[in-house]
Amino acid sequence: MSTKSTRPNKGTVAGNSWRTLPAYQWLGRDQDDHTHILDRKRDVVHRIDPLAGDRVRVYDLYAAGDDCRGNAIERYVDFVDDELGWADRKLINRDVFGDRR
């Protein structure tokens, strides 16, 4: 391989790290037995009824405005915990590294 024709730098690793994350991620199952799936492409969470195979609701993570950017997943997890309760939930960064506040 030639060192004169190296691939140009296309930006920082942090700037392109979203490409290494899966497009969809399972967040958990609530007390009503509905599954919550994060859609990173659209910044929404799908609430799905696995028995009927239907999408019950789509939650826009940024509908509340700019104040929730950066911690939208944490706010959503808290919202489901307060409103419905989790039966089974995936660990998020806050669970592993502690709260940022």
Bridge partners (DSSP) listed for residue 59: 45
Instruction: Name the residue type at position 33.
Output: D
Q: How far is CA 22 from the centre of its chain?
A: 10
What per-residue confidence (pLDDT) applies to 94? Answer: 64
* Residue-range domain boundaries for the chain: 20-96
Q: Coil, strand, or helix at residue 77?
A: helix
* pLDDT for res 46: 93
pLDDT at 54: 92
pLDDT of residue 67: 47
- At position 95, the amino acid (one-letter code) is D
What pLDDT does 77 receive?
87
* Mean pLDDT, 10 residues at a time, the chain of 101 residues: 57 58 86 91 90 91 59 83 90 64 52
